[in-house]
Structure formats: C-alpha cells, structure tokens
C-alpha cells in the first residue's frame, strides 16, 4: 500500500525558505488522488496548509497564501512544499498526506525549527 | 473560511465508558466531515469519513453521525488504546479546516 515519508534540511533561519519533500512509495504520485500538507506547532492542533493534484490544480490556506507552494514531482514520485519568509511561528511538525479527499494515508512527519 | 469548533477541549473518562465528542461547523458542510485520532508523537489516523463512514480497519466501537453543521464522534466502550486526541476536519470547501482538538484522558 501507499507509504509517505517526509524529509527536510533541518533548521531554517528566520526570513529563509523552508523546503520539504515527501517521498511516495507503493504507488504513483500521478493518480486521481490529491496530496496535502498539514502542520502542527508544538503543543497545538492541526493546521491544513494546502493540497495539490498532479494536474497542477492547487488550493492553499489563505493564512499562508503568497508564501507557500505545493507541487508534484512526477520524475522522483514525490511531493514538495516550499514556504518562504519563515518566522518562529512556522516551527512545527510537517506532515504530508494523501487526500481521497479525506486524509487516509499520512507520513510520520518531520520537525522543522525556525531559529537563528 | 469555515470554522470548526469542537467540544469539549478535554475529557476525562474511564475504560468501558461511552464518550461523545461534538464538532460544529460555522456553516453547513453537508456530510463532508472527517474524524482523526492522534497519539503523542504520531501522525493522525483517519477514523471516520463522510460524517459516518468507518475507515477500513477502524474498530466498530467508533461511530460518527450528523450533517449540516452539527456532528458527533462516539466511542461506545472505551479501551485503553483510545486515550488520545481527536480532531474533526471539514472537506466541503478549501481551506479544509480542522477543529481545535479534544484530548481524551484516563480518569
């Protein structure tokens, strides 16, 4: 079955760009499914970031719009998330998930700390 | 944006008890409501989709109901492994917002 695994470069400096990938195994990223990113700040609840489809159709949270880009990398069978102009408020565990449209498969999450 | 409000924010209960968690949407969302369970340090797990459909592999003691703006998640008889946080999410209209969560603790 489909499995997801997030990865990222580690700490990010304020005003920098956060870049994450989500490797898809056991299936193709080119499907009828959509793919989402969700984040969870320390000790807080879940926040929907946005979603994409391999066709390029995307939806983003208005609170992040203008800073966030989600895309599908068909060659490497993965998703990508880019978030620009980060601040400490972007420190969180970031999850990728398959949307059918409920989020039925999740990656284990990757922690991103924004700090100078 | 559609706001999702869960109640209670936290709940203490005993093994074997029946518990109900409520989720209210700020506008009608039909049946486009999902429920997730999350344990500490782990990713959320889908329990219920389309308000009342049990996701594959989820025990039958979990059930969901409701439509429009008011929804409930019921656990008929709590087991030790059910003590976790629970989140509702609407997927009627983007952004697909989550409720703030309900932490279910052992009494």
Q: Identify the closest residue of chain A to B9 by CA–CA distance.
A: A45
The beta-carbon neighbor of A102 closest among B42, B43, B91 is B91
Token digits for A44?
Answer: 């807080």
Q: pLDDT tens digits for A81-105?
A: 999 999 999 999 999 999 999 999 9
Task: Provide the CA A52 distance to its chain's centre, in angstroms.
Answer: 10
For testing the chain A interface, which of B95, B98, B102 should be mutated: the one with the most A CBs within 10 Å? B95
Q: What pairing do the DSSP bridges indicate for beta strands B19-25 and A47-52? A: unpaired
Written as tens digits, the pLDDT of chain B (107 aa) is 999 999 999 999 999 999 999 999 999 999 999 999 999 999 999 999 999 999 999 999 999 999 999 999 999 999 999 999 999 999 999 999 999 999 999 99
Q: Which residue has the tokens 């880019």?
A: A82
Cβ-Cβ contacts under 8 Å, B42 against chain A = 108
Chain A residues closer than 8 Å to B45 by CB: 106
CB contact (8 A) between residue A108 and residue B1 = no
Q: pLDDT exceeding 90 applies to what percent of chain A?
A: 90
- Contact between B79 and B70 under an 8 Å Cβ cutoff? The reply is no
Burial A10-36 (b: 16+ CB within 10 A, else e): eebeeebebebbbbbeeeebeeebbbb
């Amino acid at each position: 079955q489909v499995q997801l695994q997030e990865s990222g470069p580690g700490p990010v400096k304020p005003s920098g760009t956060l870049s994450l990938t989500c490797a898809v195994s056991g299936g193709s990223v080119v499907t009828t499914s959509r793919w989402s990113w969700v984040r969870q700040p320390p000790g807080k609840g879940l926040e929907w970031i946005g979603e994409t489809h391999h066709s390029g159709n995307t939806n983003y949270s208005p609170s992040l719009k203008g800073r966030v880009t989600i895309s599908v990398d068909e060659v490497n069978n993965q998703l990508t998330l880019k978030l620009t102009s980060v601040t400490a408020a972007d420190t969180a565990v970031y999850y990728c998930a398959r949307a059918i449209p409920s989020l039925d498969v999740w990656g284990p999450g990757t922690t991103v700390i924004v700090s100078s | 944006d559609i706001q999702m409000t869960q109640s209670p924010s936290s709940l203490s209960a005993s093994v074997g008890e029946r518990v109900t968690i409520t989720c209210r949407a700020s506008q009608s969302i039909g049946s486009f409501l999902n429920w997730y369970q999350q344990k500490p340090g782990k990713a959320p797990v889908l329990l219920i989709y389309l308000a009342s459909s049990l996701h594959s592999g989820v025990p039958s003691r979990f059930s969901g109901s409701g439509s429009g703006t008011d929804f409930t998640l019921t656990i008929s008889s709590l087991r030790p492994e059910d003590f976790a946080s629970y989140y509702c999410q609407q997927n009627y209209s983007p952004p697909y917002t989550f409720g703030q969560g309900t932490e279910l603790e052992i009494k």
